[in-house]
Amino acid sequence: QQKVQQSPESLTVSEGAMASLNCTFSDGTSNNFRWYRQHSAKGLEVLVSIFSDGEKEEGRFTAHLNRANLHVSLHIREPQPSDSAVYLCAVKDTNAYKVIFGKGTHLHVLP
């Protein structure tokens, strides 16, 4: 089964500075990756989906995928205090019905 790990566990940035979050996975055959955001133990919302190596941008959120390196990252441009939340990496498992989540990165954006 796919193993998904995220780093760092916690990240503090100043408003306007770039925030970069990392996710590594164990099986490079997956082609279905997403980043979700969760505010204060509420439901998750999808930010960006990426299905092939390279870059995918959705507004201020950009995902970079490198399956050879088993790595997918999320970059948040000009983060705002309202972006303070937990960010979770999700990888579709080889079992088509299962999605495996990382434990999340707590992002704190200081005004």
Residues that bind other proteins (CB under 8 A): 1, 32, 34, 36, 41-46, 49, 51, 88, 90, 92, 96-104
Q: Looking at beta carbons only, is 2 or 73 nearer to other proteins?
A: 2
Closest CA to 59 of 35, 33, 38, 95: 35
Between 7 and 14, CB nearer to other proteins: 7
Q: Least distance from C-beta 111 to other proteins, angstroms?
A: 26
Contact 91, 32 (CB under 8 A): yes
Residue 45 to residue 35: CA distance in whole angstroms: 9
| Shortest distance, position 41 Cβ to other proteins, whole Å | 6
Q: Among residues 44, 36, 71, which one has the least CA distance to residue 55? A: 71
Min separation Cβ 102 and other proteins, Å = 6
Please, which residue, 17 or 92, has the CB nearer to other proteins?
92
- Between 13 and 99, whose beta carbon lies closer to other proteins? 99
Q: Which residue has the tokens 């937990």?
A: 86
Closest approach of other proteins to the CB of residue 51, in Å: 6
Question: HSE on the CB side for 97, CA within 13 Å?
Answer: 0
